[in-house]
Structure 1
Amino acid sequence: MSVHQHKQENNPVKCMVLTISDTRTEETDKSGNLMKELLEEAEHSVTIKKVIHDEKDVIQNAVAAGCENANVDVILTNGGTGIAYRDVTIETIQPMLSKEMSGFGEIFRVLSYQEDIGSAAILSRAIAGVIGHTAIFATPGSSGAVKLAMNKLIIPEITHVVQEVKKDIR
């Protein structure tokens, strides 16, 4: 364990994985499956996994349902974060946040630049925050981006994030 990492107690986190795409299906959902696999390897559980369309109302409804579900501590999305006109994930999730973890997107882009896609990182949009007592992480849909975000940022901090988000409940 490095000095800067928090000691993680063995508290499994209950996760919802949403793949936001107009072209992917359950069968072709490489990034959603990768998220699920990495979470389960880290001994967390994926209670809900869906592929949904990149449309504002569909994303809002799925995220809101996750926030209201007692079996969801964290919502992880992949896809719909690009700069194309159809990409509306960030614009949909950002106004739903009660608190934003701006460091997630900032560090993700630095890591993307250094370790994955170079200068194309300027096109990369990722966001994280809290909606009520539910944490949410929205990553790009490429498997490289998902692997980077999960291994370098999300998995190392997911238990800590949930502890912070839920510590004032009751």
Structure 2
Amino acid sequence: MSVHEHKLGNNPINCMVITISDTRQSETDKSGNLMTALFEEAGHHVVEKAIVPDEKRAIRNQITAGCENANVDIILMNGGTGIAHRDVTIETIEPMLDKEMNGFGEIFRMLSYQEDIGSAAILSRAIAGVIGNKAIFATPGSSGAVKLAMNKLIIPEINHVVNELRKDIR
């Protein structure tokens, strides 16, 4: 089956959006709100949103809740992916993954470099993978990074990703 055939089928996907931040609240969660809007504009559903602090336990607990929620197909995260001491999103997610989608981070950094980020793209630690039968994508918290990841990588491939994961539970 070709890549294009895998992408066919436009069933709505349900997701949980998690923003990792010590300072954001619902009204000021620009990136989480953008992630939600772009996902819903593509015909999918955000069934749950959360803002959690840059703390491993809080992040792990929210990811676990998303993975245990039968109404959630994927988890979209933003924030906490930098190199500052408080940024622990990647260190929390990596040991939880059953499989990593290395290409997501690699292509995200390449696209960031090509756009207007330039060499600062080396600081990005965007990651994606699978926990059980749920896909998880973690992007930097800037609205530019969210827009890039959603429009160029996540939305174009999300049906393909979820269809592959659903094969395992049929």
TM range (shorter): over 0.9
Would you say the 8 A contact 1:77–1:137 is kept in 2?
yes
CA distance in 2, matches of 1:4, 1:76: 23
Distance in 1 (CA, whole Å) between partners of 2:38 and 2:8 is 16
Which contiguous aligned blocks of 4+ residues in structure 1 show a shift greater than 6 angstroms? none
Partner of 2:42: 42
Over the matched positions of the two proteins, sequence identity in percent amounts to: 76
Q: CA deviation at 1:8?
A: 2.9
Task: Describe the SS at the equivalent of 1:43.
Answer: coil
1:56 CA drift (Å)? 0.1
8 Å CA contact 2:14, 2:44 repeated in 1: yes
Q: 1:163 to 1:7 in 2, by over 3 A?
A: closer
For residue 50 of structure 1, report the CA deviation from its aligned partner.
Answer: 1.1
Pairwise CA distance, 1:43: 0.3
Amino acid at match of 1:123: L
Contact 1:67–1:131 (CA<8 Å) still a contact in 2?
yes
Rounded Cα–Cα distance in structure 1 between residues aligned with 2:15 and 2:89? 18
Counterpart of 1:116, as a letter, is D
Look up the match of 1:61. Answer: 61
Residue 4 of structure 1 deviates from its aligned partner by 6.3
Structure 2 unaligned regions, length at least 5: none
Structure-2 residue corresponding to 1:137: 137
TM-score, length of structure 1 as denominator length:
0.96
Maintained 8 Å contact 2:133/2:168: no
Aligned-partner SS, 1:82: coil
**Normalising to structure 2: TM-score of the pair?**
0.96
Q: What letter matches 2:100 in structure 1?
A: E
Q: Confirm or deny: 8 A CA contact 1:116 1:144 kept in the other structure.
A: no
Q: What is the match of residue 109 of structure 1?
A: 109
Paired AA for residue 66 in structure 1 = G
**Are 1:148 and 2:148 an aligned pair?**
yes
Shift of 1:94: 0.6
More helix by share: 2
Q: Name the amino acid aligned to 2:129.
A: G
CA positional deviation for 1:7 = 3.5
How far apart, in 1, do the equivalents of 2:139 and 2:167 lie? 25
Looking at structure 1, the residues matched to 7 and 99 of structure 2 have their Cα atoms a distance apart, in angstroms, of 24
SS state at 2:86 partner: coil
SS in 1 for 2:28: coil
Deviations 1:101-137 (A, max 9, x none): 0000000000000013111001111000000000000
**Change over 3 Å in CA distance of 1:132–1:83 after alignment to 2:** same
RMSD after superposition: 1.2
Aligned length: 168
Question: Which runs of 5 or more residues in structure 1 are unaligned?
Answer: none
- Alpha-carbon deviation of 1:68? 0.4
Counterparts of residues 71-86 of structure 1 (less than 5 Å): 71-86=71-86
